[in-house]
Structure 1
Amino acid sequence: MGDDKVESENWEVRPERVDMEHYIQAEPAWAKYIPGGYSKSRCLKSSGKPMVASILVLAGTCLLFFGYDAAVMSLVNINPDYLQHMDSAGGTNRDAARIGGIVSFWFLGFLVGAIMAGSYADKIGRLKSIQLGCVWGIVGACLLTSAQNFSWMVCARILSGIGCGHLNTIAPIWTSELADYNLRGAYVSVQFTMCVAGATMTYWMEYACLKTTSLPFAWRFPQAFQMFFLLLIVVAANFFPETPRYLAKTGRFEEAREILHRCRLRPSEQAIEQELAEIQEAIRIEATSSAHGFLSMIWQKDALHTRRRVALAMGIQAMEKLCGPDAIAAYGPIIFGLSGFTGNLPAMLAGFNFISYTCSVPIGMYFVERAGRRKLMLIGLLVMGCSLLIAGPLAREAINTPETELSKKRAYGAAVVAFVFLYTCGFGSTWITCCWVYPTEVFPLATRAKGVSLSMVSFAVWGAVINEVIPYVINAVGWWVFVMFAVMNFIQIIPVWLFYVETANRHLEDLDILFASDSPLAYKMEREFAEKKRALGFHTDVQEVLQTA
């Protein structure tokens, strides 16, 4: 009798005992022809802090490559040998357009890579998708290193962007689905600390190469060095866990349970079973949603309000670009030239700005869970807007002050530099984390990869536009570029306050309840969420909420 009782209790807590055969989606037959990915036999056997640290190292390397690849053209664009090969050394508007075009074509590749990754990451798994991205990136890096002309370089940049689109779309999803619900933001913050460190690394590597080596080596070696990170990722990923949400979706509940145990800092049997039950319930609900394809996610209205989530995810990436970080990072020497400094100093200041950027990101790691995404974004917009609004008039004074008043001119220039550094720290400690973690949280499991890839489309489109037009804007308006971005930061406070509901410290499955509200306004969503929780109890059934919404 005692054994029967134990068996009965186990039957109740094991989610896979519930009939799930109608909701399980097995991997397609063609997935077995793609080597690599997760394997139970070779997966790391560590658990707790060692497993978390290992996951963060791999994900951080993925984002380090993203930061490196995104910034790799920063000093290449002024290399005389590179400009000669690209037939763009004349300094004309045509030449500027060609150089800006090469930078922007990377975003086209990024867009394509994000869509590709989103289309099959839910079918073949997160790890295999990351490895496929590495293959694209390696091919792109080989072509970048050997580029001989404009067309060659454009093709190489597109292929490199495709690889980066894969990694930057899937790596944050992978960590968000593996992380404890109260650590998702910290996970992403660690990754983007590595991302900014990658950008800092490539900037100073190129600066050192320009000063100490031949001009051809100075731009070709940084392109080739990308392959080191990609080869490391493609090999190491074979030994890491797949996400429990993907494993459960494909019917491997026991493996999902084991991964949950290994990836939790303080695992308990009850908490693990409850989390697995929530995942299973989410799979049931999401299987009934009509919005599973890219177009249906954008156009169709469903009970999960997927269309609204797409708007929030794409909107936050657009706003991130309109905050102005690319103008400061990609065109740093030009921006610091507006402070009145000349010679090598603007390039040096741009490099030191990257260092301050890297140091500021861990601040977001501390506050992203404590303050929450919403509050951190609002604070960031206020700090960045004020910094740039002050930097603009100071830049005007620095430029207009004659050389005869050198001490005064330098004082204004130093003040401009200080406020640009403050802007960069404001962005690094707030938006760089929030804008990447938010899209990985707001989507249901069934459409998470596709949803994040759509947010990457927004990132790529706006990134390409900003990087293409910024040189012309700076030439046209000069120091007014600071004021222009300050106004954009202030304007963005309105949509963030109105529509961006808090996602911090909530289970991913719990967000389906939050987004069940018919109102897009954040405060109404929170009010209805609280009412439903009180009415239905703390362990709310998602299906019941959606039926009563």
Structure 2
Amino acid sequence: MADIKLNTEHLETRQRQTIYQKESTFSKYIPGGYSTTRCLKLTGRPMMYAILSLAGCAIMFFGYDASVMSLVNTNTDYLTLMGADTGSKRDSAAIGGLVSLWFGGFAIGAISVGHYADRIGRLKTIELGCLWGILGAALQASAQNFTWMAFARIIGGIGCGHLNTIVPIWTSELADPNLRGAFVAVEFTLALSGSTIVYWMEYGCLKTQSLPFAWRFPLGFQALFLLILLVAVPFYPESPRHLMKIEKHDDARQVLRQCRLDPTEIRIDQEMTEIEDAIRLEASSTSHSFTSMLFTKDKLHTRRRVILGAGVQVMQKFTGIDFIATYAPEMFTLAGYGGDKPALLAGGNYISYTASLALAIYLADRVGRRKLMLAGSTMMGVILTAGGILAHEVVSKSAKGQTAEANRLGGGVAAVLYLYTFMYGSTWLTTCWVYPTEIFPLASRAKGVALATVAFSIAGGVINEIVPYLINAIGFWVFILFALINLAMLIPIYLFYIETANRHLEDLDLLFAGGSHLSWRAEREFEALKEKGVEHVDEIPAREMS
């Protein structure tokens, strides 16, 4: 009997070693992180609001950093220093290249998060992102030539890539299931607030300060967001899923009690069981590395999820938002405006863009991700088509000397640009960031979101590199081009994107367990499994998962 008991205990120990993992040794050398004694003593909604405030600061930095080049790109002192005022074709390449290098750094930051976020925790990953971002801000603000600025943009992108990959994961793992979409919507409201702040800051500096100050100060100011984060992060809760993964069950239970709106012991026990079952299931998965996630077929269908997560990020860039947001002054110039009007209209568009997130907050969890993507692409396709037609008429009337008529139609183009950004902000902006955080299994969530963020970076880099050429080469046809892309995107969204709103993250393993890639069949299979009382992927017959 003693031998049997010893063998049983040995088997249980081996299983626990297989399922759980030790916290990385590297993590011990990073100050801060989670502490039960240091963590905020808030519970319920106050804790949710506190988490949202910290996440909002991080995402506001993303919005600021993503838009900081809008008026820097038109600053004559900056262009001269970067050698982009020669009047040659190299100018567009240099301007677009420095914008795109940030996306390259963003991808490096995302991949880094995928490598160590599960080993050192979400909070310490946020801290590392802040350090990269502060270094990047300092180097950009002090840049003396093109090469210096290029490296500075990459380093700044690494910091932003860290934060924009890990913060949505952290909030999705802490938020109540019915609040995840609204959480991300609020965060990106703050992101657009960051974009609006930096745009008007740069405009004010251009009008009241010297040209060097007008581009150096905004680039350095972004470090303020990161310093606030560095000071605040050690006082916040860690992801309960990460705490469970490293066998800190009591800490995970305490975090769930603090972060749930209705923290009854039955509900907490149920969620703890769901997380542990997910850890056990995912420990048997073969997809734990970037390579295996991309090339190995497993019972959790991780590769399919990578395609969906990366796909939604690529599609959001191909909606055309960057050709209007990043190059907004140039787009309003196409509408026939001159002088300060393009810059003023672009700044007003940021305010409208930010306001659109109020609608996104309301719709995110009520309508769901899939319907928002379908509705958004449809409306943006129609709006951009109208914009292309109006812009064509502006060019035509101007060529004929019909200035009054061209100005009237130019107002229509400006209205189209405002409507487009409002529609994008209320539908796609939040969806493309929350969807990847929901669809991946716990074991590969950090790496999965990292791969989706890399896809965002590549698509963003490509779009930002070619947009200046497109605007110069095809003028108003750029509206029609992106209108057609939006309408074409309806096909993959309708066929393959499954609804994830208002579902426990652990339920999504079951939702993606079926053999069909088609969304409506996956939903039918999920309902059938629930009717049979199936709760975990391991309970599904292998023939139903092929």
- What range describes the TM-score normalised by the shorter chain of this pair? over 0.9
Q: 2:233 aligns with which of 237, 248, 251?
A: 237
Structure 2 match to 1:516:
513
Query: Are residues 1:171 and 2:137 paired?
Result: no
Query: Does the aligned pair in 1 maintain the 2:113–2:162 contact within 8 Å?
Result: yes
Q: Is the 8 A contact 2:513 2:537 kept in 1?
A: no
User: Are 1:37 and 2:37 matched, yes or no?
Assistant: no
Q: Which amino acid aligns with 2:536?
A: D
TM-score, normalised relative to structure 1: 0.95
Name the counterpart of 1:24: 20
Pick one of 74, 79, 82 that aligns with 1:83: 79
How do residues 178-189 of structure 1 correspond to structure 2 at under 5 angstroms?
178-189=174-185
* Contact 1:510–1:542 (Cα < 8 Å) also in 2: no
Shift in Å at residue 178 of structure 1? 0.2
On the 8 A contact 1:110/1:162 being kept in 2, the answer is yes
* 1:3 corresponds to: none
Q: Specify the alignment match of 1:10 in structure 2.
A: none
Q: Distance in 2 between matches of 1:528 and 1:91?
A: 60
Query: Match for residue 219 of structure 2?
Result: 223
| Residues in 2 aligned to 1:543 and 1:45: alpha-carbon distance in whole angstroms | 38
Tell me if the contact between 2:309 and 2:449 (Cα under 8 Å) persists in the aligned partners: yes
Q: Spell out, residue by residue over 1:78-106, the C-alpha distance to the aligned partner (whole angstroms, 9 max, x if none).
A: 11111111121122111221111111100
Partner of residue 493, structure 1 = 490
Match of 1:105 in 2: 101
2:324 maps to which of 315, 322, 328: 328
For 2:374, the equivalent position in structure 1 comes to 378
- What is the match of residue 544 of structure 1? 539
Amino acid at match of 1:83: L
Stretch deviating more after TM superposition (19-28 or 160-169): 19-28
Q: Give the Cα–Cα distance (whole angstroms) in 1 for the partners of residues 395 and 280 of structure 2.
A: 63
**Structure 2: runs of 5+ lacking an equivalent:** 1-11
The alignment status of 1:443 with 2:440, answered yes or no, reads yes
> Aligned equivalents of 1:383 and 1:422: distance in 2?
10
SS of residue in 1 equivalent to 2:22: coil
1:294-334 deviation per Cα after TM superposition (whole angstroms, max 9, x unaligned): 01000000000000000000000000000001100110011
Q: CA deviation at 1:267?
A: 1.6
Q: Which moved more, 1:50-59 or 1:407-416?
A: 407-416
Residues 161-182 of structure 1, C-alpha deviation per residue, up to 9 Å, x if partnerless?
A: 0000000000000000001111
Task: Extract unaligned runs of 5+ from structure 1.
Answer: 1-15
- 1:194 maps to what in 2? 190
Post-superposition offset of 1:473:
0.7
CA distance in 1 between counterparts of 2:481 and 2:443 reads 40
Residue identity opposite 1:512 in structure 2? D
Give the AA of the match of 2:462.
Answer: V
2:499 maps to which residue? Answer: 502
The one of 420, 426, 430 aligned to 1:429: 426
Q: 1:265 Cα deviation (Å)?
A: 1.4
Q: Deviations over 1:177-200 (max 9, x none)?
A: 001111111111111111111111
1:274 aligned residue (254, 264, 270): 270
Among 474, 477, 483, the residue aligned to 2:474: 477
User: In terms of mean alpha carbon deviation, does 260-269 or 431-440 score higher?
Assistant: 260-269
Identity %: 56
Partner of 2:416: 419
Compute the displacement of 1:18 (Å).
Answer: 13
Specify the alignment match of 1:53 in structure 2: 49
Matching residue within 365, 370, 388 for 2:384: 388
Deviation string, structure 1 residues 130-168 (Cα, Å, up to 9, x no partner): 110000011111111110000000000000000000000
Q: Equivalents in 1 of 2:413, 2:252: separation in Å? A: 52
* Distance in 1 of aligned mates of 2:243 and 2:332: 49
Specify whether residues 19 and 296 from structure 1 end up closer, same or farther in structure 2 by C-alpha distance, changes over 3 A only.
closer
For 1:397 and 1:18, locate their aligned partners in 2 and report how far apart those are by CA, in whole Å: 73
2:540 partner amino acid: V
1:273 to 1:20, Cα distance in 2 relative to 1, 3 A: farther
RMSD: 1.5
Aligned-partner SS, 2:173: helix
1:65 matched to 2:57: no
Counterpart amino acid of residue 450 in structure 2: S
> 1:448 Cα deviation (Å)?
0.3
Look up the equivalent residue of 1:121 and give its one-letter code.
A
Question: 2:43 corresponds to which letter in structure 1?
Answer: S
Q: Distance in 1 between matches of 2:14 and 2:463?
A: 51
Q: How far 1:365 moved relative to its partner? A: 1.1
Counterpart of 1:154 in structure 2 is 150
**Residue of structure 2 aligned with 1:452, choices 443, 449, 454:** 449
User: Counterpart of 2:313 in 1: which secondary structure?
Assistant: helix
1:398 positional shift:
1.3
Is the CA contact (8 Å cut-off) linking 1:513 and 1:546 kept in structure 2? Answer: no
Q: Distance in 1 between matches of 2:262 and 2:213?
A: 50
Residue 121 in structure 1 maps to residue 117 in structure 2: yes
Paired residue for 1:466? 463
CA deviation digits over 1:476-515, x for unaligned, max 9? 1110000000000000000000000000010000000001
* Distance (Å, rounded) in 1 between the aligned partners of 2:51 and 2:309: 24
- Say if 2:181 is the partner of 1:212: no
Match of 2:257 in 1: 261
Counterparts of 2:15 and 2:178 in 1: how far apart (Å)?
Answer: 30
Alignment CA distance shift 1:193-1:277 (3 Å): same
Aligned length: 532
Could you tell me which amino acid in structure 2 is paired with residue 194 of structure 1?
Answer: L
Contact 1:513 1:545 in 2 (8 A): no
Task: Quote how far apart the aligned CAs of 1:409 are.
Answer: 1.6
Deviation string 1:453-491 (CA, Å, 9 cap, x unpaired) is 000110000100000000101111110000000000000
